[in-house]
Amino acid sequence: MISCCEYFLIAIKFTVDALVPNSAFGYNIQTGEHLNFCSPNNPDVSVGDTLVVEVTEVSSALGSYIISYDKK
């Protein structure tokens, strides 16, 4: 589990399950249950793509994790 207060920069590999380009958090790449990788920039990905990202910030809202990242 990722702590909301302290964490190390980590790289995560995941598969895009859904893409919501106009979410309240910007471009929202959804994967797994309640995992939302969000960016103000178009990530240029499609459903089924595998990504490696570096997590820059994590917050929790309405039972889901909102994860900011840098695409690698």
For residue 50, give the CATH number of its domain. Answer: 2.40.50
- The total number of structural domains that make up the chain: 1
In one-letter notation, the amino acid at residue 32 is: G
CA atoms of 10 and 21, how far apart (whole Å): 24
Average pLDDT across the chain, whole number: 88
Residue 66 lies in domain: 11-71
Q: Tokens 């939302």 — which residue? A: 36
CA atoms of 3 and 46, how far apart (whole Å): 29
Backbone angles phi, psi at 9, to 5 degrees: -65, 130
Residue 2 counted as domain residue: no
Structure tokens at 50: 């595998």
Does this model's pTM top 0.85? My answer is no
CA atoms of 55 and 12, how far apart (whole Å): 7
**Does residue 8 have a pLDDT over 70?**
no
